């Protein structure tokens, strides 16, 4: 006796068949409409010309429908009704490698079931480039934007550690969840929220670890804090300390990628926000203090009692555009119509 396919596979196959049937019906309808529209012109056209015109229009329709069908099937495969949703808030700023970084991240996120991505641009407006990227990524998303105040923007040559980054963008994401959670969540009381950078590296196992967090879950981060890894030291009964060298007196000496929290924790502390005025390096500790009422007792060790590194604080190398600058000096540039 053959092995029965899983309900997940049955759902995907059924979705594909339904979409295929819909495609055929739409093509038939379009063919009929084209016949009516061009009826007055057919008297002056040869049969060969009429066939060429119809074939061209049907070909264009197929091209337009193909990506829609693919995305619809993909999203159906990744929706599991009984699984809590993970919401990631990602700040992103304009730079030459922005779309390259987002594309790499997108191909990780496409594998995560029940996932919603809040991408927040550091911009006065939502840019067309990022809008086009999100439309073709294939992940459920919300696209927001807010500009970082000038006084918080790094000056040319200023060290990265001098100012906090992504504060306004992450806070806007939190405000959006509090105001619109019912619109993006099947169960507004069951979800995990994660601050995700657009240039870090993530194992898919990390999202399995965080999905059922009760309040705040913690894990180590690779290549962070000037160490091979930085993060909590854990025993079976909870977090007993932290592996860090810079200001170990912080209550929660954590990297932003080293924790996630439940939407219930946010609902219990709706005023919790990242504070751009705190001393550098205390941004995460300040936020966790608000969610955990200044107590380490409620922290939940994840990733094999904090023994597994499932996220790495990687950074994309700054693009070398020396030749582009030489072109600019001559009043020229690489073709801007080719989007990078």
3-class secondary-structure state, position 194: strand
pLDDT for position 22: 58
Reported as a pLDDT band with limits 50, 70 and 90, residue 81 is confident
pLDDT for position 90: 98
Decide: 53 and 38 in contact? Cβ < 8 Å.
yes
Residue 146 has pLDDT above 60, yes or no: yes
pLDDT for position 28: 57
Highest mean pLDDT among 42-56, 63-77, 291-305: 291-305
Reported as a pLDDT band with limits 50, 70 and 90, residue 62 is very low
Reported as a pLDDT band with limits 50, 70 and 90, residue 6 is very low
**Catalytic one of 121, 168, 230, 284:** 284
Higher-confidence residue: 238 or 49? 238
Decide: 234 and 243 in contact? Cβ < 8 Å.
no
Reported as a pLDDT band with limits 50, 70 and 90, residue 29 is low
The long-range contacts involving 127-132, CB below 8 angstroms and separated by at least 24 positions, are 127/94, 129/98, 129/99, 129/339, 130/92, 130/98, 130/99, 130/102, 132/339
Verify whether residue 339 is a known catalytic residue: no
Higher-confidence residue: 74 or 55? 55
Residue 74, phi then psi, degrees to nearest 5: -60, -45
Decide: 257 and 313 in contact? Cβ < 8 Å.
yes
Average pLDDT, the chain: 84
Reported as a pLDDT band with limits 50, 70 and 90, residue 89 is very high
Helix (H) or strand (E) holding 144: strand 141-145
pLDDT for position 171: 98
Query: What percentage of the chain exceeds 70 in pLDDT?
Result: 76
């Amino acid at each position: 006796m053959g092995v029965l396919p899983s309900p997940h596979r049955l759902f995907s196959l059924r979705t594909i068949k339904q979409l295929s049937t819909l495609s055929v019906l739409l093509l038939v309808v379009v063919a009929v409409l084209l016949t009516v529209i061009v009826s007055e012109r057919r008297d002056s056209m040869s049969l060969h010309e009429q066939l060429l015109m119809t074939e061209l229009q049907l070909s264009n329709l197929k091209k337009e429908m193909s990506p829609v069908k693919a995305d619809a099937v993909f999203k159906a495969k990744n929706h599991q009704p009984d699984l809590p949703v993970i919401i990631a808030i990602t700040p992103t700023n304009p730079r030459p490698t922005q779309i390259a970084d987002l594309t790499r991240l997108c191909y990780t996120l496409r594998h995560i079931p029940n996932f919603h991505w809040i991408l927040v641009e550091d911009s006065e407006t939502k840019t067309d480039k990022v809008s086009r990227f999100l439309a073709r990524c294939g992940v459920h998303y919300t696209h927001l934007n807010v500009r970082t105040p000038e006084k918080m923007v790094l000056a040319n040559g200023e060290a990265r550690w001098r100012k906090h980054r992504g504060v306004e963008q992450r806070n806007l994401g939190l405000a959006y969840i509090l105001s619109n959670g019912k619109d993006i969540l099947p169960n507004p009381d069951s979800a995990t929220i994660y601050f995700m950078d657009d240039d870090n590296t993530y194992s898919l196992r990390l999202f399995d670890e965080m999905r059922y967090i009760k309040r705040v879950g913690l894990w180590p981060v690779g290549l962070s804090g000037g160490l091979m890894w930085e993060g909590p030291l854990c025993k079976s009964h909870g977090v007993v300390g932290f592996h860090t060298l810079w200001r170990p007196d912080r209550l929660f000496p954590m990297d932003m990628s080293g924790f996630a929290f439940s939407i219930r924790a946010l609902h219990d502390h709706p005023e919790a926000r990242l504070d751009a005025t705190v001393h550098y390096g205390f941004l995460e500790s300040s936020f966790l203090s608000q969610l955990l009422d200044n107590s380490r007792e409620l922290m939940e060790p994840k990733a094999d009692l904090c023994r597994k590194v499932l996220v790495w604080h990687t950074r994309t190398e700054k693009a070398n555009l020396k030749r582009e600058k030489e072109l600019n000096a001559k009043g020229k540039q690489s073709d801007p119509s080719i989007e990078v």
